Amino acid sequence: MRKGDFGWKWPFFGEFPSLFYHINTIHQSLTILFSRIGATAFVKGPCFANMDILGTVDPKNVHYIMSANFQNFQKGPGFKKIFDVLGDGIFNADFDLWKDQRKIAKTLITHHTFHKFLVKTSCDMVKNGLVPVLEFMAKEGIVFDLQDVFQRFTFDTTCILVTGFDPGSLSVDLNNIAFMKAMNDMGEVMVIRNLLPRCVWKLQKWLGIGPEKKLRDAREVIDRVIGKYITMKRDELRAKGKKLNKNEEEEGVDLLASYIANDDGETKTGLMFDDKFLRDTILNFMIAGRDTTSSGLTWFIWLVVTHPEIEKKIREELKSIISLGEEGEKPRLFKGGEFKNAIYLHAALCESLRLYPPVPFQLKTPQEPDVLPSGHRVHPKMRVMVILYAMGRMESVWGKDALEFKPERWISERGTVKHEPSYKFFSFNAGPRVCLGKEVAFTQMKAVAASIIHNYHVEMVKGHEVCPNVSIILYMKNGFKVRIRNR
């Protein structure tokens, strides 16, 4: 055996046995690895599986992959096979199909009617969904999983924003919802597929056993629920003559209604807004909005409550934007327009996303052989992985204090939010694929974070172990067990 970048190279299996040995601490292990050997490392996969991976935390490589030579680094057919449950949605799409979908999505997401709906929905869900649960937990002194509450909040909020319908997972009794469980099960199996050779999970799928059976059952629930939403929305709009009324234009409208209302049989791009297209679009938006935002909120609140001096600064800033006439209002909730001057809150959120990016890695497949700026050669039978978790902790990228939670690094000398290039701060992607939902995410996170920090004391249960899981989305492995009380 020979020593590789990540561990011993085994005959036939490459470095994957070493990789699996570190799997439970993979994020920390990769951070240590890149700090020790440099910004780019090669992992030799099993010789029969085309699973060689070049991992990088080098911003120059990220810029090259995501922007300068974007056309050569696509998701690739292998990615689409692993994530086949997402259909032809924007996450799976490459080339012209991706361009067409992104163009339509960008038009609808940036439209003023959706922005109004976003602000109204976020405020309503905090007031009528999140706060009643927090008030009940505070009154009863119950230990509960705040991560689970955030997942339910963002699940319901995203479903409303995308479809206009509330699945009702966020309530005092925290009931199990079949649609939410199916989405969770789907995510788990996607992780397993990424770790197994394709021939293994393909065999499980053909036999209908193991994780693949769980995915099949989850897909049936997902397709049934989304299909119901599409039918209900079509009927709702058909009754109105497929036009948005004046009240809807003033209060805003969900994305599904916008897609259907703008459907003239065939769009200028050639895309057909049939039920399959809408199904794939809804599912992709649900994943984009629900999982990432709840992950970001969980890590942010944990970082804030474990750094009392930062919590105090955020509270002082929030107090300064409240007019005197509203001081006695309890609980005091915040609206989107009030955050214009909440510079420190925004900086703290960016800092949290740097250290705990909701999507901890990104995979790309070269279409043609290429050479990265670091000098490493890549080819179509390997995957290139950007390790966001480790990149946010590199002294070579962020300085000697890279491991510190330090919101001040995001504030300029003029007191404004400092811009960092997206290929360095990669939490919202970079280049042509930069996240369309960045404003949506910040709007939701600020509304939730401000309401919690201003109105409540959050205390983590003594002895509770906080560590990241191994998943497509960076969650806390053991949840976030807390008690909460009114301030």
Q: Which residues are annotated as a binding site for heme?
A: 435
State the Cα–Cα distance between residues 336 and 357, nearest whole angstrom.
Answer: 23
Nearest Cα to Cα of residue 101 among 292, 269, 229: 269
Phi/psi at 90 (5° precision): -65, -30
Give yes or no for a contact between 14 and 43, defined as CB atoms under 8 angstroms apart. yes
Residue type, 39: A
Give yes or no for a contact between 214 and 189, defined as CB atoms under 8 angstroms apart. yes
Binding site as annotated, residues:
435
Tokens describing residue 398: 């962020």
State the Cα–Cα distance between residues 276 and 283, nearest whole angstrom.
Answer: 11
Cis bond leading into 331, ω under 30°?
yes
DSSP symbol at 484? E
Give yes or no for a contact between 73 and 379, defined as CB atoms under 8 angstroms apart. no
Angle at 251 between CA 246 and CA 257, to 5 degrees: 75
Tokens describing residue 34: 């890149």
Rounded-to-5 percentages of helix, strand, coil across the chain: 55, 10, 35
Per-residue b or e along 428-466, where b marks 16 or more CB atoms closer than 10 Å to that residue's CB = bbbbebebbbeebbbbbbbbbbbbbbbbbebebeeeeee
Angle at 89 between CA 252 and CA 85, to 5 degrees: 120
CA distances 192 to 10, 429, 440, 472, Å, are 22, 23, 29, 10
